[in-house]
Amino acid sequence: MTKYAYYPGCSLETGAKEYDTSVRGVFGKLDLGLTEIPDWSCCGSSQAHKVDRGMATAIAGRNLVLASDIGDIVAPCASCSLTLKEAIIELEHEGPERAVLKDAGYEYLPGSVNVVSAVEAVYRALRDGQFEGKIKNPLEGLKIASYYGCLLVRPPEVAKFDDPENPTSMDKIMEAAGATPVNWSHKAECCGNAYIMVDKNMTLSLVTKIINAADRGGADIIVTACPLCQANVEARHSLLQQKFGLKRSIPVVYFTQLLGAALGVDKGKLAMDESVYKLIEKARQAEKVVG
């Protein structure tokens, strides 16, 4: 069994609990062990580095130190994953960032831990044959738009995973689950979440373009691996249709929720709306008719 240190982060403890429970369910089915990092704390994602870069690195670095005795870290949130990876780069050499962390009582040892996103960990499992015989309810006929957003694979020198302009890892995971990934233009475009309080109209315009692009690609559903993206793209569809030219409302779920359904994870852990299950069944029935 592959074992990871698990960093849920703040969002999976609050507004994205379904991501947390579905990650745990999927990893269990794939024989990927998760040990939650004891006494983990906020990684300072998003804005802490704008206030004090040294302290921001120390905040993230503390979690790295706490995980180093467990194993490499899985951080499902794309923003958390990026922040922890950036901290590793900052702490790999002797400098003020490592000094701040040491002054707080935590000594980072270069090379002691690595960080991967949930997509990276699941993709590794797929590559290593750990999906074999485990897809119990294939998502036949379901057309998926895999939405990576701007943090999961960028910047490439930090993410060090997949193609920053045309990523395919989530597509391959969904394909292994029996779904059909669609070709579409906005899979790695920014949804503007960070600017919602600064320029709401700009953010809503970006979201509309993303959903309309998925619609043009023929998607039944959008899957993502970022709580910020999920919340931003899923919300306010009625407003987007009224004022921003949204063509069709499309459900947005975490990739682990759909994969979990294919693996036979308990519905309670997936926490998907019943309408999504109906969509899956409708796609299966349509596929049988075509077949």
Domain ranges of the chain: 2-119, 135-290
Residues, the chain: 291
Rounded to a whole number, what is the largest CA-CA distance in the chain?
Answer: 66
- What is the pLDDT, as a whole number, of residue 213? 98
* pLDDT tens across the length of the chain (291 residues): 899 999 999 999 999 999 999 999 999 999 999 999 999 999 987 665 555 777 889 999 999 999 999 999 999 999 999 999 999 999 998 888 899 899 999 999 999 999 999 999 999 999 999 999 999 999 999 999 999 999 999 999 999 999 999 999 999 999 999 999 999 999 999 999 888 888 999 999 999 999 999 999 999 999 999 999 999 999 889 899 999 999 999 999 999 999 999 999 999 999 999 999 999 999 999 988 876
How would CATH label the architecture of 135-290? 3-Layer(aba) Sandwich (3.40)
Give the CATH fold of the 2-119 domain. Answer: Glutathione S-transferase Yfyf (Class Pi); Chain A, domain 2 (1.20.1050)
What are the tokens at 236?
A: 């306010």
Are 145 and 183 in contact, with CB atoms under 8 Å apart?
no
What are the tokens at 244?
A: 């921003």
What contacts 155, CB < 8 A, 6 or more positions away? 164
Distance CA 95, CA 76 (A): 29
Whole-model pTM: value is 0.96
Are 47 and 197 in contact, with CB atoms under 8 Å apart?
no
